[in-house]
Amino acid sequence: MAYVTPSYRGYRLETFVFRDQDAAPAEHKHDRTLAVSVRISQSAADDPASPFEPKLFRLESVLFDAIGDARRAGDEFGRSLVDDIIHGNQTEV
């Protein structure tokens, strides 16, 4: 399921929460099996001719047992990536 942050500093953030396929089969309901990815793209209000292509980033090494926790972590992760883009730091895909 995707959760959209309409605009953060001129970028659109979409947080995706999904079951991690690499996680061991869950014996208990609340095993940490939820993973997070964030897609960053230009906001619609910005110049559509911008060279910035949408990019997808996965929050590595952290799994969650609650959708809300995963979504909040994804939102924060996306905002930190946008801050890095704005400040000119290179971000690996």
Whether residue 1 contacts residue 8, with contact meaning beta carbons closer than 8 Å, is answered with no
pLDDT of residue 44: 60
Whether residue 21 contacts residue 50, with contact meaning beta carbons closer than 8 Å, is answered with no
Domain ranges in the chain are 2-86
pLDDT along the chain (93 residues), means of 10: 78 91 58 89 66 87 91 94 82 46
| C-alpha 21 chain-centroid distance | 17
Paired residues of 38 in beta bridges: 15, 57
pTM: 0.74
Residues near 10 by beta carbon (within 8 Å), at least 6 away in sequence:
42, 43, 45, 46
| C-alpha 51 chain-centroid distance | 20
